[in-house]
Amino acid sequence: MTVKLNQKAFDHAKALVREGKVERDSRDDWSEHAPSNDVLNKFLDSNGPHEYGLWFLGVDDEFSEGQKGYYKFPFGDLKKVHRCAVISGESRASQYNHDDIRKALGDLLDRIDES
């Protein structure tokens, strides 16, 4: 299993932050703010894997592109970047030694906090 940075999603996240589409929530809010599996499934069905994948900073080559398991490290609610998701993801990426994803999430957090 190799989880690597999804550069298209990282570019998408940076654009959302530049546009001000950010929820500046608290560190522990992600469990309440994360989209439910039902919401994620509907989004994937309605928008397809390309649009769905833009909301996840990691991809896992153990799965085929387009499968939900392929996408890791969500950073928002499919509308906005959530600060709590970025913090949560950065911690998890560090825990599992996904350094490129951790660095990207750290960069996003800096951008959010600067704006």
- Domain edges within the chain: 3-114
pLDDT in tens, 16-69: 999 999 999 887 888 889 999 999 999 999 999 999 999 999 999 999 988 889
Mean of the per-residue pLDDT values of the chain = 94
Q: Do the beta carbons of residue 60 and residue 70 sit within 8 Å?
A: yes
- In sequence order, what are the beta bridge partners of 23? 82
- Could you say which DSSP state residue 55 is in? T
The pLDDT, as a whole number, for residue 13 is 98
Q: How many other C-beta atoms are found inside a 10 Å radius of the C-beta of residue 29?
A: 16
What angle is formed at CA 106 by the lines to CA 80 and CA 34, rounded to 5 degrees? Answer: 35
pLDDT band of residue 1 (cuts 50, 70, 90) is: low
